[in-house]
Amino acid sequence: MTGRSRLAALILAAALALVIVSRSLFRDDDSGPHEISGLTMGTFFNVTIDDSDVTAVELSRIRDTIQSRLDQVERLMSTYDTDSELSRFNRHESAVPFAASQQMLEVFSAALVVSERSDGAFDVTVKPLVDAWGFGPPGRPPVPPADSVLAALAPAIGYRLVEVDLEAGTLTKANPKTVADLSAIAKGYGVDRVAAALDSLGLMGFLVEVGGEVKARGRKRDGSSWNVGIERPDTDRRTAYETLRLADAAVATSGDYRNHYEIDGIRYSHIIDPRTRAPIRHLGASVTVVHTEATFADAWATALSVLGPDQGMVVAEREGLAALFLVRSGSGFEVRRTSEYRRIADEAIED
Ligand code: AMP
Ligand code: MG
């Protein structure tokens, strides 16, 4: 697929995903819920606000606030925008500390926590591998990269090569060639930023979604919780595998079914295992994580996708994470839920 048709497919897919999340939310009168959607970070965002006191003027202010928060995250963290702060950090081939924005420091700090806790499965410095396998700005290679090409990239890869100094406000590279890709965490961070902005505007019930990463706040006006569909990991159709009812929580899903290509019948996914320097190869099709913060839900969903259903379940239980794995089995899927996920799902059924 060309970059443009891939973007079009992505936008269509995101639009269909929104239908799953938001269908049946709306009342017949015009008292809401209010829906605000648009484009950001190469995907769709959608915010549903269930608050009858919101006036048209406030709604337009809310819309501007949401768009500006998301635009800010994109301006800082896009790898496609050569002027973004992340692109400047990546061009900063030096061991001299790089003065970073508060937002970049927050995202790098969260990324490092998940890297440490996932035994290095999550690693934002895998960017050269992401690019080599054809999932970055350079686009798809005609043949898979040779082992020697991947091995030559290895010295600059490793999350420990970037040091975050919150007091000094800097990021420092131990290897000047190290570069980062925040795609696995930035959408979740954007969701948290929007939710925080809506909180400070005094809104009590809303659902924020950016490209499939979701955060629910409070309840709907009728007292019920928000429904979030977990997708069946099919490439060609979008249906919900199961529905989660949430009050104050974030959900993110990661998987190899959204962005991949095939050469000679082998599927190459956009999720790279830093240990093998190659796209993941296990049978896990998707991982969904429920967390208080979308930033962590997003990063953990990617980390557990790297680890796969076997190791991933062990790490998720060890970390007390609410995670659901969908594993390919015959023509369908086998589901595995951690004990924390089962607890949350049971609580939602009882409420
Ligand atoms: P997500 O859709 O949130 O799982 O993020 C996937 C994206 O994160 C990929 O398209 C890559 O840009 C990047 N990525 C791939 N592998 C990793 C990894 N092991 N750790 C962190 N980011 C990764
Ligand atoms: Mg992610």
Angle between the N-to-C axes of helices 56-77 and 186-200, in degrees from 0 to 180, rounded to the nearest 10: 150
**Neighbouring C-beta atoms of residue 290, cutoff 10 Å:** 26
Which amino acid is located at 314 in the chain? V
Residue 115, phi then psi, degrees to nearest 5? -60, -50
How large a percentage of the chain has pLDDT more than 90?
Answer: 71
pTM of the model: 0.91
Atom 15, ligand 1: residue with shortest CA distance: 271
Ligand 1 site: residues with CB under 6 angstroms? 122-124, 126, 130, 135, 181, 183-184, 254, 270-272, 274, 298, 301-302, 305-306
Closest ligand 1 atom to 213 CA? 3
* pLDDT at residue 192, as a whole number: 98
**Residue 139 has what DSSP assignment?**
-
> What gap in Å lies between CA 166 and CA 132, rounded to an integer?
32
What number is the average pLDDT over the span 202-209? 94
Backbone angles phi, psi at 9, to 5 degrees: -65, -40
> In this predicted model, what pLDDT tens digit does every residue of 209-248 receive, in sequence order?
999 999 999 999 888 899 999 988 876 777 889 999 998 9
- pLDDT tens-digit series, residues 278-296: 999 887 889 999 999 999 9
Instruction: Decide if pLDDT at 19 tops 60.
Output: no
> H helices within 172-273, ranges in order?
186-200
Phi–psi pair at 14, nearest 5 degrees: -65, -40
Write down the pLDDT at residue 30: 56
Residues 300 and 114: their CA atoms lie apart, in Å, by: 7
| Nearest residue (CA) to ligand 1, atom 14 | 271
- Lowest-pLDDT choice from 4-18, 81-95, 124-138, 266-280: 4-18
| E-strand stretches of 71-225 | 98-99, 162-165, 170-173, 206-210, 213-217
Question: For residue 99, what are the CA distances in angstroms to 84, 89, 166, 172?
Answer: 14, 9, 10, 9
Residue nearest to atom 6 of ligand 1 (CA): 184
- Give the Å distance between the CA of 188 and the centre of ligand 2: 7
- Ligand with smallest separation from the Cα of 298: 2
pLDDT given at position 159 = 98
pLDDT, residue 7, reads 44
Residue pair 278/269 in contact (Cβ under 8 Å)? The answer is: no
SS (H, E, C) 2-29: CHHHHHHHHHHHHHHHHHHHHCCCCCCC
